[in-house]
Amino acid sequence: MSMAEKEQSGPALRIEGLRKAFSDVQAVDGLDLEVRRGECFGLLGPNGAGKTTTIEICEGLLEPDAGTVELFGLDWKRYAGELRQRIGIQLQETQFPDKLTVEETIRLFRSFYSRGLEQEELIGLMQLEEKRSSRVGGLSGGQKQRLAMATALAGDPELVFLDEPTTGLDPQARRHLWELVEGLKRAGRTIILTTHYMEEAERLCDRVAIMDHGREIALGSPVQLIEMMGGEEIVELGTARAANAGTARAADAEEFVEKLKAIEGVREHTEAEGTHRLAVSGLHSVAPRIFALLEAEGLHLSEFRTHSATLEDVFVRLTGRNLRDE
Amino acid sequence: MSNGWAQSLHRSSLFQLTWTRFRLILREPEAIFWIFIFPILLAAGLGIAFRNRPADVLPVGATTAQMAQALNAGGGLRTAVVNEAEGVHQLATGAIVLLAVGEPQGVRYEYDDTNPDGRAARLLADRALEVAAGRRDPLPAADRLVHETGSRYIDFVIPGLLGMNLMGSAMWGLGFSIVEARQKKLLKRMVASPMPRWQYLLSFLLSRLTMLVIEVAVFLSFARVAFGVPFRGSLWQLGVLCVLTSLAFSALGLLVASRARTMEAVSGLMNLAMLPMWILSGVFFSAARFPAVVQPFVRALPLTAAIDAMRGNMLQGLGLGQMLGPVAILLAWFVVPFGVSLKIFRWR
């Protein structure tokens, strides 16, 4: 494929063998990724998984130790000027000057691009009409984040990077921002976002890569990843021995786990801090059998929860840790 | 036509960056105080403290009316006739600084020779009495009193304050804003856009030079109107000196801010850079008073060069051509730190 063709039709982003170490941590440890044009791609993982380092290398803000990064088939070394014009970036923790107004901030960033959206369009797109003359210092967290998105869109970018766009926002502001991101998707922009909210990735992303310790540990659409769990429902239960049933023996506990696993429809079992976690299919038939087993064993329920499997469960299954542990 | 021009100015990133800097300064009340009001308050305070008063008249006592008349005629003394006991008491309480006691053979002066006023009164009184007694001075002498503008303390200190103010506003203005932008990740956000980096730095210099015009005009107008401070040299050359001074200190501010990540770090560096100049560069008294050993160091400081050149212009009417030394030092302080900071600047 020629350079020009690649630029027209190739992936929006291609990463190969990416590595980056800081003084004592291997932040990114051999990562390969491809992001298609027009898709919303999520980098998912706990804090410290290497998401931000990866995204900043893609944004041309960090130099990788090894590996290649190409945006639209162009590399940062030779095409930095062009790439800067074609991408939009929202960083994790930018604080715009408190004493500038929303309009002034947008106008400043718009002036950096040779072509792009008009100030009014940007304000409209991010629904900042009422706040146009307010100073940045007086904006809420959600409004500040929308302003950051407006500056990211100033150059009418083909590819938008959003680094943890909803971290620290209240649920209402988060949903509002999701709607705005969905608007960008409909307009056909390629979006790459990082998040540690699984819910966010499930709702917004066409595909996600789950990262841990600088590596990709799973890749696919949210639905595919959840199917990987082997069951669509998750059951969490805790047990307590009934008062009149005597003392428990270790062998009893093991036996109980074996009996749980033997129930038809239970695909997987893990146990953490006394809570059993089962991936099941056909909850309606599995649940009565669990209760029957408890009855037969003389055990009481101390907790019982079920939910549809989420990316969070995928992460727990892959790493044995909760996403927000660290 | 002019509309199109205005629009392209509006779209220019250099204009937007500079105008943003300017806005941010104007919206910071503290900055306005330190840049505009403080130097005027300082100049006013110093002007009042060191204003020229008429020469003091010293109170003395004499034991005879004849002597008192002779003393009053001599000038500089205000004489009361007292008896000796009364005079000694007044001397002890500081009501008079000298007592002239008539003696059969002549006169006896009683005074405290560790008190300068006492010694001055002794000289004045003795001259008055000797002249009254018929002394003729073999060497004719004449006095010409000097109270003219240009040699007063306020004339000396105004160029010093101007230099100090230009140093402070350039260094604080650049250093703090840059480190704040770095700390708040704004700098990183800016370089993630296609903004040309040189424009970001240039916008600081341009907004500084715009502020400079207002700052210098306000301060010097005040000095002129309130104290009649002279401007003997060419005004445009004084303007050139101010611009050069401001550029040199902006470059130094940029250098100090080029790596620092926190406000605490940059404050420390800033004080470290400015402290020697506050002390050594002759803002309040002549730098020539420092020992010869340290003179080469003192002369090489940008503030010394700036103040020397401004005093040369304002007080002596020297042209730039006569002050090539200080001008060259200022230029060097602009070029070298600017070049170094461009090399080592931390954009993240």
Say what the pLDDT of residue B51 is. Answer: 67
Buried-state track B166-186, b at ≥16 Cβ within 10 A, e below 16 = bbbbbbbbbbbbbbbbbbbbb
Is residue B24 domain-shared with residue B122, that is, in the same domain? Answer: no
For testing the chain B interface, which of A57, A62, A93, A94 should be mutated: the one with the most B CBs within 10 Å?
A94
**Domain contains B209:** yes
Let me know whether B43 and B66 are in one domain.
no
Over range B316-340, report the average pLDDT. 93
Mean pLDDT of chain A: 87
The answer on B313 and B265 residing in a single domain is yes
Report yes or no: A305 and A235 within 8 Å, Cβ to Cβ.
yes
Model pLDDT for residues A221-243, shown as the tens digit of each residue: 988 888 876 667 888 888 876 55
- Find which of A112, A145, A162 to mutate to test the B interface (most B CBs within 10 Å of its CB): A112
Residue B65 CA, distance from chain mean position: 50
How sure is the predictor about B48, in pLDDT bands with cuts at 50, 70 and 90? Answer: confident
pLDDT band at residue A107 using 50, 70 and 90 as cut-offs: very high
Are B104 and B169 contained in the same domain?
no
Which of B16, B188, B192 is facing A108, going by the closest CB pair?
B16
Summarised one tens digit per residue, pLDDT across range B131-143 is: 888 888 888 888 7
Subunit contact A155:B194, Cβ cutoff 8 A = yes
Q: Do A94 and B189 touch (CB under 8 A)?
A: yes
B20 to chain A, closest Cα gap in Å:
8
Please tell me what DSSP assigns to residue A130: G
Please report the pLDDT score of residue A224 as a whole number. 87
Average pLDDT over residues A272-301: 85
A21 reaches B (C-beta below 8 A): no
DSSP B101-114: EE-SSSEEEEE-TT
Q: What is the dihedral of CA A158, A163, A169, A175, to 10 degrees?
A: 40
For the beta carbon of residue B204, count every other beta carbon within 10 angstroms.
Answer: 21
Q: Which of B98, B132, B166 finishes a domain?
A: B132
Nearest neighbour of B194 by CB, restricted to A61, A92, A112 = A112
B84 and B158 share one domain: no
- The answer to whether the CB of B46 falls within 8 A of the CB of B157 is yes
Q: Which single residue is written with the structure tokens 């040699």?
A: B151
Over residues B148-207, the pLDDT tens digits come to 666 778 888 899 999 999 999 899 888 989 999 999 999 999 999 999 988 998 899 999
Instruction: With beta carbons less than 8 A apart as the criterion, state whether A313 and A270 touch.
Output: no
Residues B264 and B293 in one domain: yes
Pick from B28, B186, B348: CB nearest A94? B186
* Residue of B10, B24, B188 with shortest CB distance to A61: B188
Domain locations in chain A as residue ranges: 3-221, 233-308
| Kind of pairing between the strands at A275-280 and A215-220 | unpaired
Tell me which of B74, B97, B132 is where a domain ends.
Answer: B132
Same domain, B109 and B186: no
Q: What is the mean pLDDT of residues B313-318?
A: 91
Contacts of A85 in chain B (CB under 8 A): 194
Tell whether B246 and B319 lie within a shared domain: yes
A7 falls in which pLDDT band (50, 70, 90)?
Answer: low
Number of domains comprising chain B: 2
Domains A3-221 and A233-308 share a fold: no
Shared-domain flag, residues B66 and B199: no
Judge whether A216 and A31 are in contact, CB under 8 Å: yes
| Same domain for B257 and B206 | yes
Domain membership of residue B40 as a residue range? 17-50+149-344
A233-308, CATH topology level: Alpha-Beta Plaits (3.30.70)
Give the number of beta-carbon pairs within 8 Å between A and B: 67
The answer to whether residue A252 scores a pLDDT higher than 60 is: yes
B30 and B78 fall within a common domain: no
Give Cα separations from A104 to A98, A119, A147, A151, A221 (angstroms). 11, 10, 11, 11, 39
Co-location of B93 and B43 in the same domain: no
Taking residue A21's Cβ as centre, other Cβ atoms within 10 Å add up to 15
Give the pLDDT confidence score for residue A230 in this predicted structure.
66
Domain A3-221 belongs to what architecture?
Answer: 3-Layer(aba) Sandwich (3.40)
User: From the list A89, A95, A96, which residue is nearest B192 (CB)?
Assistant: A89
The residue out of B82, B102, B132 marking a domain boundary is: B132
Kindly list the distances between the CA atom of residue B52 and the CA atoms of B46, B162, B285, in Å, as whole numbers in the listed order: 12, 22, 17
Closest listed residue to residue B285, CA positions, set B156, B166, B174? B156
Interchain contact A114–B (C-beta under 8 A): yes
Q: Do B195 and A112 touch (CB under 8 A)?
A: yes
Contact B189 A111 (CB under 8 A): no
| Structure confidence at residue B226 (pLDDT) | 83
State whether residue A108 sits within 8 Å of chain B by CB: yes
